[in-house]
Amino acid sequence: HVRYRMEVSCLELALEGERLCKAGDYRAGVSFFEAAIQVGTEDLQVLSAIYSQLGNAYFHLHDYAKALEFHRHDLTLTRTIGDLLGEAKASGNLGNTLKVLGRFEEAVVCCQRHLDIASDISDKVGQARALYNFGNVYHAKGKSICWSGAEPGDFPEEVMTALRKAAEYYEANLSIVKELGDRAAQGRTCGNLGNTHYLLGNFRKAVASHEQRLLIAKEFGDRAAERRAYCNLGNAYIFLGEFEVAAEHYKRTLQLARQLKDRAVEAQACYSLGNTYTLLQDYERAIDYHLKHLIIAQDLNDRIGEGRACWSLGNAHTALGNHDQAIHFAEKHLEICRETGDRSGELTARMNVSDLQMVLGLSYTTNNSTLSEVKEMDYNLNGARPRISRRHSMENLELMNLTPDKMNAQK
């Protein structure tokens, strides 16, 4: 009788934990699961489910060390009791956790196990999931290396290899989910595949995938996904050198960001539009969007964004010959760079202020501290050279460096 009562209470605690997690209260869910484990059970399927759900709950709470611990317990248990389907799931969850922890080699082993089991038991859905996880691991691996200080546009071979593998796994996943008719999964994979191609520099392929993603997002009325697709498409078109098309996609991004009331994304879209119109040499429109970006950056207290906006505005006004406006923004840029400790930005801003002062014919003998620093710097740099002209050299932007497949695109 006593044992029976204990069994019930373990199950009851676990069910309450499950209910709480489903409701999104992972903290409370965790304590019920922990209590259930304390009570204990002889039903190893239930114990496996508790370990698995605890792992997932900790994952949601971003406590990945704990998530790892419980998914490991689940894997060991499922292997012990010979529960293949359970082992496949545990492997998948463990793989995801290891990926987040940056332990990609171990994650790959888990994905392979997941895939092997799913293939052995002809579980198509499981195979698709394993392939998707595989793709994500390689995608994350590639990204984690290219974030750690690689030269822009020139990713190391290791990154390219990982990203190529990611693309292969996403393609394999795609053919299964298409066969299964799972449109939601297809949309997700298309988005990831598009991003992988983008990072690989295959901008045409990126566009094709994101177009698919967009189509599926529209089918589902998923406006957040739609917005992501438009933004990704805009970025790809920039590197294809098709700036007008990019601008159209960024405008849709902006529209959706406003509908979804996502201010940060709205700011980013305005910033992208400002830069795109600068590439199109439509400086009035560029200024319009950079101002919109500036206002939101100020609202959000994003000083770095504000600095970027001022820098861009200074350059756009210089291009138009509005030197008074240009110097105003250059000085603001300088002020913000000093505040945020951006050394290279500070030097750029000082040069800009100094250039503009020359154009405006200001005296160098002013005792304004900014000006005297500028004077000293110019002296050190061996006097003036026609730096103003560099801003008119935007058409010489080193697109080639940034776009491996631009030459194909332009043929």
Partner 1 sequence: GSGLLGRMLSLQVDSVQRWMEDLRHMTEVECMCVLQAKPIGGDEDGQQGELIVASGVGAGEHV
* Binders of partner 1 in range 46-105 (CB under 8 A): 46, 48-50, 52-53, 56, 59-60, 62, 64, 74, 86, 89, 92-93, 96, 99-100, 102
Taking CA atoms, 221 is separated from 68, 189, 233, 320, in Å, by: 35, 17, 18, 42
C-beta of residue 48 within 8 angstroms of C-beta of residue 83: yes
- What does the per-residue mask of binding to partner 1 show for 322-341, with x meaning CB under 8 A? --------------------
Return the ∠ at Cα 181 (arms to 175 and 185), rounded to 5°.
70
Number of neighbours of residue 320 by Cβ within 10 angstroms: 14
**Both tokens of residue 145?**
């290396």
The minimum distance between CB 247 and partner 1, in angstroms, equals 14
Start-to-end CA span in the chain (Å): 82
User: 243: closest CA among 399, 405, 407, 411?
Assistant: 399
Minimum distance of partner 1 from residue 46's CB (angstroms): 6
Q: Radius of gyration over alpha carbons of the chain, in Å?
A: 27
Spatial contact of 17 and 53, defined as CB atoms under 8 Å apart: yes
CA–CA separation, 48 vs 50, rounded Å? 5
- Restricted to residues 241-270, the positions that interact with partner 1 (CB under 8 A) are none
Q: Which is nearer to partner 1, 92 or 157 (CB)?
A: 92
Of the candidate residues 38, 122, 367, 380, the single one contacting partner 1 (CB under 8 A): 380
Which residues within the stretch 119-138 sit at the binding site for partner 1 (CB under 8 A)? 125, 129, 132-133, 136
* Interacting positions 2-31 with partner 1 (CB under 8 A): 11, 14-15, 17-18
Closer by beta carbon to partner 1, 343 or else 408: 343
Q: Which of 127, 186, 212, 272 binds partner 1 (CB under 8 A)?
A: 272
Instruction: Give the shortest CB-352-to-partner 1 separation in angstroms.
Output: 9
147 binds partner 1 (CB under 8 A): yes
Q: Which is nearer to partner 1, 351 or 367 (CB)?
A: 351
Dist CA 112 CA 89 (whole Å): 12
Least separation, in Å, of the C-beta of 367 and partner 1?
25
Site for partner 1 in 149-188 (CB under 8 A): 152-153, 187-188
Site size for partner 1 (CB under 8 A): 79
Q: How far apart are CA 28 and CA 106, in angstroms?
A: 31
Q: Residue 182, Cα to own-chain centre: how many angstroms?
A: 25
CA 174 – CA 182 distance, rounded (Å): 10
Query: Quick one: 306 or 363, whose CB is closer to partner 1?
Result: 306
Of the candidate residues 38, 344, 365, 368, the single one contacting partner 1 (CB under 8 A): 344
Which of these ranges, 1-9, 142-150, 296-304, 358-366, lies near partner 1 under the rule CB under 8 A? Answer: 142-150
In the complex, what is the shortest distance from the CB of residue 382 to partner 1, in angstroms, rounded to a whole number?
8
**Cβ-Cβ contacts under 8 Å for 246 (sequence gap 6 or more):** 233, 234, 235, 237, 238, 272, 276
Question: CA–CA separation, 219 vs 216, rounded Å?
Answer: 5
For the record, the structure tokens of 371 come out as 């000006």
The minimum distance between CB 360 and partner 1, in angstroms, equals: 20
Does 146 participate in binding partner 1 (rule CB under 8 A)?
yes
Q: How many CA within 13 A on the CB side of residue 132?
A: 21
DSSP H helices, 260-368, are 263-279, 283-299, 303-320, 323-340, 343-360
Cβ nearer to partner 1, comparing 157 with 398? 398
**127, 186, 202, 348: which one binds partner 1 (CB under 8 A):** 348
Nearer to partner 1, 99 or 292 (CB): 99
Of the ranges 43-51, 291-299, 334-342, 362-370, which one interacts with partner 1 (CB under 8 A)? 43-51
Q: Is 73 left (phi over 0), alpha (psi -120 to 50) or beta?
A: alpha
* Residue type at 394 in one-letter notation: M
Task: Enumerate residues 296-325 that contact partner 1 by CB under 8 A.
Answer: 308, 311-312, 315
CB closer to partner 1, 46 vs 109: 46
Among 162, 231, 294, 327, binds partner 1 (CB under 8 A): 231
Window contacting partner 1 (CB under 8 A); options: 220-228, 298-306, 334-342, 361-369: 220-228
Tell me the closest approach of the beta carbon of residue 301 to partner 1, in angstroms: 19
